[in-house]
Amino acid sequence: MTQFLGAVAGGVGLGSIYALLALGFVIIYKSMRVISFAQPAFMLAGAVLVSYLSPSIGFVPAVVVGAIAIAGVALVVERVAIRPMVGKAVFVIAIITIGIDIIVRVVAGAFIGRDPRQVGDPWGIDAWEVGGVYIAHRHIAAFLVTSVLVIALFAFFRWTPIGLAMRASALDQEAAMAQGVSVGAVFAVSWALAGGLAAVAGVFAASGRTMDQNLWHIALAALPVIILGGLDSLGGAVLGGLLIGVAQQVVASYHREWFPGLDTNIGSITPYLVMLVVLLVRPYGLFGTKEVERV
């Protein structure tokens, strides 16, 4: 039981990271109907930037500055490479984001360097022990920060004018434009939000370990999350993130007992396997809008 609870605690921490990333994917999807494959790069870039900033200005300011800076990078990318393509086939835009991902990721990766880098988080690998269950501080922190950000985001969409504009243009871009919504601003804000969220997620993904080039694989595992939750559902992204995170950690923890014949831990591909099963049953995810289209 303690093993299970420990895995769940770790899973919630991992799931919070997935939720942050997935929210970014969903926000961009809702505004442009495109999956941005550039999220992994923004996440890595955010973590690397924070690792450079935190020794001089402290961890929390570094995270804030890092998130804003990456949001700025995302804004520039959107303006330069994505905006000219609006209206073209979504697949073309998705491939452009793959190209951007490669560029940003390699440039950010070059700054990792040879020496082990850390984001300078205060938690490290400390943990509380509650009834034999170890709960890492960084997982609690990830969960709390994610909760705050999710509440702030939902409030942002609910009560601010630009949030209303984003909801309107997600429903129907032309109708929103006719009502005076600047759809271009909506695109820009959604990319900036996604970039900032990815940067924060990157910090938590990199906490408690040294930075390496493979950090971006975590962000790829957030793709099954949005498929599970439904591409256009913010709540689905959060819930799907937590579900996938817990499932992955539980499988990773029980790997030895459940699959004694397999050497490599199957936890790493659990998100993709869960995604395949869900898609076979519900092709539009748990909370996604079903497209009515019959052939």
For other proteins, which is the closer residue by CB, 80 or 175?
Answer: 80
For other proteins, which is the closer residue by CB, 67 or 100?
Answer: 100
CB of 152 to other proteins, least distance (A): 27
Does residue 133 sit in helix, strand or coil? strand
CA 262 to each of CA 4, 249, 259: distance values in angstroms, whole numbers, following the listed order:
20, 17, 6
| Residue 259 identity | F
What is the footprint of other proteins within residues 78-117 (CB under 8 A)? Answer: 81, 84-85, 88, 90-92, 94-96, 98-103, 106-107, 109-111, 113-114
CB of 31 to other proteins, least distance (A): 14
For other proteins, which is the closer residue by CB, 224 or 236?
Answer: 224
Verify binding: residue 133, other proteins, rule CB under 8 A: no
Of positions 32, 34, 74, 142, contacts other proteins by CB under 8 A? 34
CB of 86 to other proteins, least distance (A): 12
Long-range contacts of 224-227 (CB under 8 A, 24+ apart): 224/271, 224/272, 224/274, 224/275, 225/18, 225/19, 225/21, 225/22, 225/271, 226/22, 226/25, 226/26, 226/29, 226/35, 226/285, 227/275, 227/278, 227/279, 227/285
CB of 82 to other proteins, least distance (A): 10
Q: What angle do helix axes 90-110 and 59-77 make, rounded to 10 degrees?
A: 140
Q: What Rg, from alpha-carbon coordinates, does the chain have? A: 19
CB of 266 to other proteins, least distance (A): 7
CB atoms within 10 A of CB 159: 9
**Residues in the site for other proteins, rule: CB under 8 A?**
34-35, 81, 84-85, 88, 90-92, 94-96, 98-103, 106-107, 109-111, 113-114, 220, 223-224, 226-227, 231, 262-264, 266, 268-269, 271-273, 275-276, 279-280, 283, 293, 295
